Structure 1
């Protein structure tokens, strides 16, 4: 069985999440794939950042979607984690792809549901991925069915995954994945441990499973024993 270790927001146990430092360290330590969060600046530039608001990471108030790229790039995205990361900025997707394209297996884009994208913004996003020549490594995941539908319309070849955090959502989104012939369910790992029959049921429909976010080695082993091969983790890397 080929286990795929997916670094959550990069190697976020040893470097600030969603930064170039976290991505570089994940690849250096042998993570097979990287998961990261993406949303838009006020001027429609895709940036890599988890929260809707800036405060937890940068110490500055305000919303990412209401802040221009030039303003975002003045903020510090690493000092909260440690002084040695005080040079880290909020990366744009284009900046990050220079590192991320070196990943061995897949890039999991977690497109934040609090950020609305116009069709033109989604088209630019897809064009960026095509321009980087990495479409085959990209898995576009989101809680937002609207965003997934926009991507599906624009590029039928991009892998698409539905993110779920409870059993009810799992069943609903599995049905959606089957209907649209999408590739993946990305599930909170406890849902799988508590409902192991879902695993074979999902695979029987031609849909694979990613489990997130697993930081306990015992839980990881339980998932592996159940046949899960794609696991998102903050720290169980290398």
Structure 2
């Protein structure tokens, strides 16, 4: 009986232990912003997840291109960077009440597009690319979309991979080790993308944002939260904070993102919560199916009044796209990015 009980509990113990280890192992220093622009050279404030700041020192080869104010605001001197640089890494040494910590942050030139167009699973429908492939991401970038959305699950051995469904070719992602999953080919010949490879591909440019959907795990809530921890840890390891925004159908996942990464933009997908609740939990915005906002038209005004962003999915009809553009929503997720781009460029 004891052996049977351990077999049942062991996956949950692994997940819970992973969460604790990753939470305790992550850096305590973060920035409130990770970009600069021609008109905005203030990047963000240095903050701690726990403890108090005693002093801050800048270091690294780009040290001269940055400065820190008395209130811990990081700013950039673009003229000190190499000509044409689209990002610069800076090392920040923070002395706290409990010791000293050094963190490296990638500060990115904000050339990100603002045209409301979010390519759903990348640009695939009219390009011949496979949904959620790196090729679909590259097509979305080439088209000039504001963002490219993609879906993340986690293998049995805790590797985040890109796929919409919980299974691929009839095999459960959460119950299968990555060594087997990564042998699988997409219809366009690509291997199943890992999150790391997908992020690295997206970070080769600074025009299109990466809209990362954290999928609820078929293993339950613990699996979903373990995936959330794994994703945030990887994003920070790759210095990808400037590129990535987060969405999820799991409200606890959205709140966990904001707990782990207070600088992040997280939006909720399910559509069962009014804007007031999202604002109270410091979410970035709502990201609801068009039918939800058609049933609750007052939520548009309420969300704007609460400084929440509004994304609507998945809209492919020209008349509906036109109406949403008239309502001045912030983003529209679509399988027809070419069509929507033609409408916003009129």
Query: Unaligned regions of 5+ residues in structure 2, if any?
Result: 1-113, 342-346
Which residue in the other structure is 2:132 paired with?
A: 18
Post-superposition shift, 1:103? 5.1
**More deviation, 209-218/119-128:** 119-128
TM-score (norm 1): 0.85
Please tell me whether residue 137 in structure 1 is matched to residue 249 in structure 2: no
- Residue 213 of structure 2: aligned partner: 110
Give me the CA root mean square deviation: 1.9
Any idea what the Cα deviations from partners look like across 1:154-174, whole Å, max 9, x if unmatched?
A: 221111111124xxx042xx3
Q: Which has the higher helix share?
A: 1
Residue matched to 1:81: none
Q: Is the aligned partner of 1:5 residue 2:117?
A: yes
Q: 8 Å contact 2:285–2:309 — kept in the other structure?
A: yes
Q: What CA deviation, in whole Å up to 9, does each residue of 1:30-61 have, x standing for no partner?
A: 1121111011011101111111122xxxxx32
Unpaired runs of 5+ residues, structure 1, are: 55-59, 79-84
Is residue 181 of structure 2 the alignment partner of residue 72 of structure 1?
A: yes
2:335 to 220, 230, 234: 234
Distance 1:201 1:38 in 2: 30
Name the structure where strand makes up a greater proportion of residues: 2
Distance 2:332 2:137 in 1: 17
2:194 to 68, 92, 100: 92
Alpha-carbon distance in 2 for matches of 1:224, 1:70:
45
- Work out the CA distance in 2 between the residues paired with 1:122 and 1:164: 17
Question: Runs ≥4 in structure 1, deviation > 6 angstroms?
Answer: none
1:63-86 deviation digits (Å, cap 9, x = unpaired):
1111111111111222xxxxxx1x
Q: 1-side partners of 2:249 and 2:282: how far apart?
A: 17
Q: Which has the larger radius of gyration?
A: 2
Moved more, 38-47 or 148-157: 148-157
CA distance in 2, matches of 1:50, 1:22: 13
Change (3 A) 1:235 1:17: same
Tell me how many residue pairs correspond in the alignment.
220
Partners of 1:217 and 1:236 within 8 A in 2: no
CA distance in 2, matches of 1:118, 1:218: 36
String of CA shifts for 1:77-119, please: whole Å, max 9, x gaps. 22xxxxxx1x112100111112222252422111111354376
CA–CA distance in structure 1, aligned partners of residues 270 and 223 of structure 2: 21
Query: With structure 2 as the length reference, what TM-score do the two structures score?
Result: 0.60
